[in-house]
Structure 1
Amino acid sequence: MRSPSDTPDLLGAADISAPTQAKTAIELAVVSRDGELRILDTDLAARLGFERPRKIRELIAPHRRALSQLGELATADVVVGKGQRATAYYLNKRQAIFLTAKSETVEATAITLEIIERFDAYEHGAIRAPAPLPARRGVTAREAASTFRAYRGIAKLVGLDENQAALSAARATKLDTGIDPLAQMGITHLLAPQQELLLTPSDIGVRLGGKSAIAVNQLLAERGFQVGRRDGKGQPYWEPTAAGEPHATLLDTGKRHGNGTPIRQLKWGAGIIDLLTEGTVQ
Structure 2
Amino acid sequence: MNALITVSAVEGEPRVLDTDLAAALGLERHRDIRAVIHDNRAELEGFGSLRVVTANPGPLGGRPGKAFYLNEEQALLVAMFSRTERAKEVRAALVRVFAAWRKGELVAANPAPALPNFANPAEAARAWAAEYEQKQLAQAQLIEVQAESAAKSAVIGKCSHVLIDM
Q: In structure 1, what is the equivalent of residue 65 of structure 2?
A: 86
More strand by share: 1
Matches within 5 A, 1:117-132: 117-132=96-111
Matched letter for residue 109 of structure 1: K
Q: In structure 2, what is the equivalent of residue 101 of structure 1?
A: 80
Q: In structure 2, what is the equivalent of residue 49 of structure 1?
A: 26
Matched letter for residue 62 of structure 1: D
For residue 25 of structure 1, report the CA deviation from its aligned partner: 8.9
Q: In structure 2, what is the equivalent of residue 148 of structure 1?
A: 120
Matched letter for residue 89 of structure 2: A
What is the CA deviation profile of residues 54-90 of structure 1, one whole-angstrom value per residue up to 9, with x for unaligned ones? 4211111111111111111000001226420211100
SS in 2 for 1:42: helix
Pick aligned residue for 2:54 from 77, 93, 99: 77
Asked whether the equivalents of residues 31 and 133 of structure 1 are also in contact (C-alpha less than 8 Å), the reply is: yes
SS in 1 for 2:27: coil
Q: Residue 27 and residue 103 in structure 1: after superposition, are their counterparts in 2 closer, same or farther (change >3 A)?
A: same
Q: In structure 2, what is the equivalent of residue 58 of structure 1?
A: 35
Q: Tell me, which stretches of 5 or more residues in structure 1 are unaligned?
A: 1-23, 150-169, 174-178, 186-282
Matches within 5 A, 1:248-259: none
Matches within 5 A, 1:183-222: none
- When Rg is computed on C-alpha atoms for both structures, the one with the higher figure is 1
More helix by share: 2
Asked whether the equivalents of residues 22 and 33 of structure 2 are also in contact (C-alpha less than 8 Å), the reply is: yes
What is the CA deviation profile of residues 182-205 of structure 1, one whole-angstrom value per residue up to 9, with x for unaligned ones? 9x89xxxxxxxxxxxxxxxxxxxx
Once residues 19 and 99 of structure 2 are traced to their aligned partners in structure 1, the CA distance between those partners, rounded to angstroms, is: 21
Matched letter for residue 95 of structure 2: I
For residue 99 of structure 1, report the CA deviation from its aligned partner: 0.4
Once residues 86 and 3 of structure 2 are traced to their aligned partners in structure 1, the CA distance between those partners, rounded to angstroms, is: 13
TM-score by length of 1: 0.40
Once residues 26 and 128 of structure 1 are traced to their aligned partners in structure 2, the CA distance between those partners, rounded to angstroms, is: 13
For residue 52 of structure 1, report the CA deviation from its aligned partner: 1.8
Matched letter for residue 114 of structure 2: A
TM-score by length of 2: 0.65
C-alpha RMSD of matched pairs (Å):
2.8
Once residues 37 and 108 of structure 2 are traced to their aligned partners in structure 1, the CA distance between those partners, rounded to angstroms, is: 27
For residue 109 of structure 1, report the CA deviation from its aligned partner: 1.7
Once residues 59 and 66 of structure 1 are traced to their aligned partners in structure 2, the CA distance between those partners, rounded to angstroms, is: 11
Would you say 1:116 and 2:88 are equivalent positions? no
What is the CA deviation profile of residues 21-66 of structure 1, one whole-angstrom value per residue up to 9, with x for unaligned ones? xxx5961111001221000001000000012234211111111111
For residue 180 of structure 1, report the CA deviation from its aligned partner: 7.9
Q: In structure 2, what is the equivalent of residue 165 of structure 1?
A: none
Q: In structure 2, what is the equivalent of residue 135 of structure 1?
A: 114
